[in-house]
Amino acid sequence: MQDAAVDRRSVLVRVDYNVPMSEGKVTDDSRIRASFPTLEFLLGRRACVVLASHLGDPEGEVVPELRLDPVAERLQALLGRPVRKLDDCVGSAVEAAVRKGGPGDLFLLENVRFHTGESKNDPQFAEQLSKMGELYVNDAFAALHRAHASTEGVTHFLPSYAGMLVQKEIEALSRLTDRPERPYVAVIGGKKAESKLGALRDLVGRVDVILIGGGVAFTFLHAAGRAVGASAVDPSVEDEIREVSRLADQKGTRIVLPSDVVIARAASASAETRTVPADEIPEGWIGLDIGPKTVERFAHEIEAARTVVWTGPVGAFELAPFAGGTRAVAAALARSHAFTVVGGGETGEALVELGQAQAASYISTGGGACLALLRGKSLPALEALRERQGEKPEA
Task: Name all domains of the chain by residue range, CATH numbers in brackets.
Answer: 10-167 (3.40.50.1260), 179-374 (3.40.50.1260)
CA distance 334 to 329: 9
Q: What share of residues in the chain are helix, strand, coil (percent, to 5)?
A: 40, 20, 40
Q: Are strands 362-363 and 339-342 parallel, antiparallel or unpaired?
A: parallel
Residue type at 182?
R
Confidence of residue 149 (pLDDT cuts 50, 70, 90): very high
What is residue 229's predicted lDDT score, i.e. its pLDDT? 95
Name the region of 190 (left: φ>0; alpha: ψ -120 to 50; beta: rest).
Answer: left
pLDDT above 90 covers what percent of the chain?
79
Contact between 21 and 147 (Cβ < 8 Å) = no
What is residue 394's predicted lDDT score, i.e. its pLDDT? 52
The answer on pLDDT for 79 being more than 50 is yes
The answer on pLDDT for 206 being more than 50 is yes
pLDDT tens-digit profile of 153-200? Answer: 999 999 999 999 999 999 888 888 888 999 999 999 988 888 888 888
Of 213, 212, 209, 201, whose CA–CA distance to 242 is shortest? 201
CA distance 62 to 79: 28
What is residue 377's predicted lDDT score, i.e. its pLDDT? 80
The answer on pLDDT for 395 being more than 50 is no
Catalytic residue of the set 214, 325, 367, 368: 368
Instruction: Let me know if 345 is a catalytic residue.
Output: yes
Contact between 53 and 17 (Cβ < 8 Å) = yes
Q: In what helix (H) or strand (E) does residue 69 lie, and over which residues does it extend? A: helix 69-79
**How much is the average pLDDT of 136-150?**
95
Residue type at 270?
S
pLDDT tens-digit profile of 349-360? Answer: 788 778 887 888
Catalytic residue of the set 345, 348, 366, 367: 345
Kindly list the distances between the CA atom of residue 27 and the CA atoms of 32, 111, 249, in Å, as whole numbers in the listed order: 11, 18, 42
CA distance 371 to 349: 16
Instruction: Let me know if 368 is a catalytic residue.
Output: yes
pLDDT tens-digit profile of 209-250? Answer: 999 999 999 999 999 999 999 999 998 999 999 999 999 999
